[in-house]
C-alpha cells in the first residue's frame, strides 16, 4: 500500500507479473540504467504515480484513521462507537464533515506520497541497477530498506496528515484533536512548539510499518496472482487477474501490517508535553504493550477492513500510473527514413476513450487544488516559452505541438482569467457553473467528433458518404489555425489576469520592476537552454525534461517569494503537467514522426 495514506506502494520488481509492465533489462552500455529509465526519473515517476492513486483512495484512509483512534486505551464496550465498520464510518464522515470530509488531509497525503514513494522508488531503482535484487532474497530486502528510508523522509507529512484526518466535530471526535487550520498552519505550529525534531515525532512506528508491509507485499503479490490464474478465475495477464492477485496478497499484507499501522497512527496523533515527549506513549514498544493490555489483541487490528479494501485497488492504480509514466519517458529509438505508420495508426485507433472521464476528473481536481498565485506563474512562464519557440523555430509542426503541450497551462490560464474577471461580481458562482457547463458541452461534442473521425474518416472521405468527414477533408486544414487564434485570445486574457494577480499577491508597486526584470532575463536564458536540449533529443523524453526544468524554475522562484502552500501547489502542478503529457503521448509521437518526415523530404530535395 502506498501512502499519503500510510500504505504500501508497488516496486518495479512487482511489475514482472503486470500485464503492461516493462520488462527489466540488463544495464546498457556506458552505464545506461536498467529498463532505460534512470533512478532520478523513477523518483519523479514513483511520486507522481503514488499521488494519482492517493487521490482516489484517500477516503478509505480517513475512515481507517478514525477507526484506529476510536476507543484509544479503553476496554471494549466501555466507549461510544460513532464509527462502526467501513460503510457506516463513510456515512458518519459524510454526515458530520460533508463530502469534503472524505478528502481530509489530502494535501498532506499527496506531499507524503511524493516524498515517501519518490525516495522509495529511487532507492529501489538504484538497487536494481546495481544488481542487488538478483541475490537470494535481494528483492524483499531492497524493498524493505527502500520503504524504511522513504517512510523516514516522508514522516513529517504523515504526521500532519494524521492530525488533519482525525479532526472533526466534538460529538464524534476520536483521539486527540490538534485543531490545525490548514497544512501550513500544522507545519508551522509543530515547528514553533517543538522544533525540527517535533516534525519527526512518531517515526519509530512508521519505519517498521512500511518496511514490514513492503517486504510482505513483494513476497506475496506475484505468487498470489499466479495462484488466481492457475484456478482460471480470470485470464492470464488481464487487469482482473492483477486486481484479484492484489486483493489476495492484501490479506497477508493487512494481517501483518495493521498492528504496526495502528501503533504508528497512535504515536503520530498523541498529545505531547512541552519538551516533546508523548503524554500517552513513551515509544513504539510501550504503545504496542499498552494497546495489547488495555484494548486486547483485537485492538491492534482496528481499521483492518479499510486497510484491506484500499490495498488491492491502490496497488493496481499505482502500478498502472507508474508503468504509463515510465513508458512516457523511456527513450524511443530514432525512426528510419521511411517510418511505418501502422503502429501509430493502431495506437490512435485504440485510444482509451474510457479514460477520458478519468482524465477530466483528475485534471479538474489538480486545477482546483492549485491556487491562483501559482497558476498565474505557470501561465506567464508558458506564454514566455511559447513566444520564444514561435520566434526561434519554424512554424507548422512545432506550433501544433504547442497545442498539445498547453493543456495544463491553459487550465491554469482559464482559472486565473475567470477568478479575476468574476472577482466581486454578483452571482459569481453561478457564472462559473455556467462556464463549466458550456465547457463540458463543448468537450462532449469534441469527443464525439474525435470518435467519429478516428473510426470512420478514412472510409467516409473516400466514399464521399458523410458530410462531417467531407467537411474535414475539404477544410480540415483550417482547424489548427482556428485553435491557435482561440488559444491566443485565451492566453492574452490569462496573462493580463496573471500579471494583475501577481502584482496584488506577491509584490508592492515599488518591487515590481526588481521582480519582473530578473525573472524575464532568467526565463529567456532558460528557454534558450531548453531549445538547445530539444534539438538534441526527440519525442516525449524532451517534453518530459522540459516540464521538469519549467517546474524546477518556478520551485526555486517560490522558495524566495512564496509560502509553504505555494511549494505544494508547484508539486501538484508538476503532477498535472505529467498527467497531461501522458494523455497526449500518442499525438506527440505523431507530431515527432511528421517532423522527421518533413526533414527527410527536405534533405532528399537538397541532395
587 in a domain, yes or no? yes
Q: Looking at residue 33, what is its pLDDT?
A: 46
363 in a domain, yes or no? no
**Boundary (domain end) residue, out of 288, 322, 356:** 322
Contact indicator for 125, 39 with CB cutoff of 8 Å: yes
1 in a domain, yes or no? no
**Domain match, 438 and 552 both:** yes
**Domain match, 416 and 282 both:** no
**Domain match, 281 and 391 both:** no
pTM of the full structure: 0.58
**Boundary (domain end) residue, out of 322, 357, 390:** 322
Sequence length of the chain is 607
The grid coordinates listed for 527 are 528557454
49 in a domain, yes or no? yes
Cβ neighbour number for residue 345 with a 10 Å cutoff: 13
Number of domains in the chain: 2
Digit-coded pLDDT (tens) for 267-304: 999 999 988 888 999 989 999 999 999 999 999 999 99
Q: How confident is the model at residue 29 (pLDDT cuts 50, 70, 90)?
A: very low
589 in a domain, yes or no? yes
Specify the range with the lowest mean pLDDT, choosing from 197-211, 249-263, 512-526, 572-586.
512-526
Core vs surface per residue 120-152: b (16+ CB within 10 A) or e: bbbbbbbbbbeeebeeeebbbbbbbbbbbbbbb
Checking if the pLDDT of 15 tops 60, the result is no
**Domain match, 304 and 242 both:** yes
**Domain match, 56 and 195 both:** yes
47 in a domain, yes or no? yes
Q: Looking at residue 31, what is its pLDDT?
A: 40
Specify the range with the lowest mean pLDDT, choosing from 259-268, 305-314, 508-517, 570-579.
508-517
Checking if the pLDDT of 527 tops 80, the result is no
Digit-coded pLDDT (tens) for 351-398: 555 556 667 777 777 887 887 888 888 888 788 777 766 766 544 444
d(CA 371, CA 374): 6
285 in a domain, yes or no? yes
**Domain match, 492 and 563 both:** yes
**Domain match, 153 and 265 both:** yes
More confident residue, 202 or 437: 202
Identify the domain containing residue 91 by its residue range.
Answer: 39-322
**Boundary (domain end) residue, out of 284, 300, 322:** 322
The grid coordinates listed for 298 are 483485537
Highest average pLDDT, of 171-185, 247-261, 371-385, comes from 171-185
Q: Looking at residue 62, what is its pLDDT?
A: 94
Digit-coded pLDDT (tens) for 41-100: 667 777 777 888 888 889 999 999 999 999 999 998 899 999 988 999 999 999 999 988
**Domain match, 307 and 398 both:** no
CA distances to 409, 420, 465 from 561, rounded to whole Å, are 21, 21, 60
Average pLDDT of every residue of the chain:
75
Q: Looking at residue 541, what is its pLDDT?
A: 65
6 in a domain, yes or no? no
Q: Which of 583, 573, 582, 591 is nearest to 408 (CA)?
A: 573
**Residue 340: what are its φ and ψ, rounded to 5°?**
-75, 135
**Domain match, 449 and 567 both:** yes
**Domain match, 140 and 279 both:** yes
**Domain match, 405 and 540 both:** yes
Q: Looking at residue 210, what is its pLDDT?
A: 85
**Domain match, 105 and 175 both:** yes
Q: What is the CATH number of the domain that holds 255?
A: 1.50.40.10
More confident residue, 14 or 593: 593
Q: Looking at residue 500, what is its pLDDT?
A: 83
Amino acid at each position: 500500500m502506498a501512502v499519503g495514506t500510510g500504505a504500501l506502494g508497488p516496486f518495479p520488481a512487482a511489475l514482472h507479473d503486470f500485464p503492461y509492465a516493462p520488462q527489466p533489462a540488463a544495464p546498457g552500455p556506458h552505464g545506461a540504467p536498467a529498463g532505460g529509465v534512470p533512478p532520478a526519473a523513477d523518483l519523479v515517476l514513483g511520486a507522481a504515480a503514488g499521488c494519482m492513486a492517493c487521490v482516489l483512495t484517500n477516503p478509505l484512509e480517513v475512515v481507517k484513521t478514525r477507526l484506529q483512534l476510536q476507543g484509544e486505551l479503553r476496554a471494549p464496550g466501555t466507549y461510544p462507537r460513532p464509527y462502526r465498520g467501513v460503510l457506516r464510518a463513510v456515512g458518519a464522515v459524510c454526515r458530520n464533515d460533508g463530502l469534503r470530509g472524505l478528502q481530509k488531509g489530502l494535501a498532506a497525503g499527496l506531499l507524503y506520497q511524493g516524498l515517501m514513494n519518490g525516495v522509495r522508488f529511487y532507492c529501489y531503482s538504484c538497487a536494481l541497477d546495481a544488481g542487488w535484487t538478483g541475490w537470494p532474497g535481494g528483492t524483499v530486502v531492497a524493498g524493505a530498506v527502500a520503504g524504511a528510508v522513504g517512510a523516514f523522509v516522508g514522516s513529517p507529512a504523515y504526521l500532519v496528515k494524521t492530525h488533519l484526518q482525525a479532526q472533526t466535530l466534538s460529538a464524534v471526535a476520536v483521539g486527540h484533536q490538534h485543531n490545525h487550520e490548514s497544512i501550513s498552519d500544522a507545519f508551522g505550529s509543530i515547528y514553533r512548539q517543538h522544533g525540527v525534531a517535533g516534525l519527526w515525532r512518531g517515526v519509530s512506528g512508521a519505519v517498521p510499518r512500511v518496511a514490514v508491509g513492503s517486504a510482505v507485499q513483494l513476497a506475496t503479490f506475484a505468487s498470489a496472482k499466479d495462484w488466481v490464474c492457475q484456478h482460471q478465475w480470470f485470464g492470464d495477464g488481464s487487469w482482473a487477474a492483477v486486481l484479484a492477485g492484489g486483493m489476495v496478497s492484501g490479506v497477508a499484507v493487512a494481517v501483518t501490517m495493521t498492528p504496526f499501522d495502528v501503533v504508528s497512527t497512535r504515536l503520530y496523533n498523541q498529545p505531547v508535553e512541552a519538551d516533546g515527549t508523548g503524554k500517552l506513549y513513551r515509544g513504539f514498544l510501550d504503545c504496542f504493550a499498552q494497546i495489547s493490555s488495555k484494548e486486547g489483541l483485537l485492538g491492534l487490528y482496528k481499521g483492518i477492513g479499510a486497510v484491506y479494501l484500499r490495498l488491492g485497488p491502490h496497488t493496481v492504480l499505482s502500478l498502472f500510473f507508474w508503468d504509463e509514466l515510465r513508458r512516457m519517458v523511456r527513450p524511443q529509438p530514432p525512426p528510419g527514413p521511411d517510418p511505418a505508420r501502422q503502429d501509430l495508426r493502431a495506437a490512435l485507433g485504440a485510444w482509451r476513450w474510457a479514460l477520458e472521464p478519468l482524465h477530466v476528473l483528475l485534471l479538474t481536481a489538480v486545477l482546483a487544488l492549485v491556487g491562483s498565485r501559482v497558476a498565474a506563474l505557470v501561465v506567464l512562464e508558458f506564454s514566455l516559452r511559447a513566444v520564444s519557440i514561435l520566434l526561434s523555430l519554424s512554424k507548422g509542426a512545432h506550433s501544433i505541438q504547442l497545442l498539445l503541450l498547453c493543456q495544463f497551462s491553459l487550465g491554469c490560464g482559464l482559472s486565473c482569467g475567470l477568478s479575476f474577471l468574476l472577482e466581486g461580481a454578483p452571482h459569481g458562482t453561478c457564472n462559473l457553473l455556467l462556464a463549466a457547463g458550456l465547457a463540458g458541452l463543448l468537450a462532449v461534442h469534441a469527443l464525439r467528433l474525435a470518435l467519429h473521425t478516428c473510426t470512420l474518416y478514412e472510409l467516409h472521405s473516400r466514399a464521399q458518404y458523410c458530410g462531417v468527414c467531407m467537411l474535414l477533408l475539404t477544410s480540415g486544414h483550417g482547424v489548427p489555425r482556428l485553435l491557435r487564434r482561440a488559444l491566443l485570445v485565451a492566453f492574452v486574457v490569462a496573462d493580463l489576469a496573471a500579471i494583475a494577480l501577481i502584482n496584488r499577491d506577491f509584490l508592492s508597486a515599488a518591487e515590481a520592476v526588481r521582480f519582473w526584470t530578473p525573472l524575464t532575463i532568467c526565463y529567456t536564458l532558460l528557454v534558450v537552454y531548453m531549445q538547445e536540449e530539444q534539438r538534441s533529443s526527440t519525442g516525449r523524453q524532451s517534453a518530459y525534461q522540459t516540464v521538469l526544468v519549467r517546474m524546477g524554475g518556478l520551485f526555486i522562484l517560490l522558495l524566495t517569494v512564496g509560502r509553504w502552500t505555494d511549494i505544494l501547489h508547484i508539486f501538484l502542478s508538476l503532477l498535472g503537467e505529467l498527467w497531461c503529457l501522458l494523455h497526449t503521448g500518442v499525438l506527440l509521437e505523431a507530431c515527432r514522426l511528421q517532423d522527421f518526415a518533413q526533414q527527410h523530404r527536405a534533405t532528399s530535395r537538397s541532395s
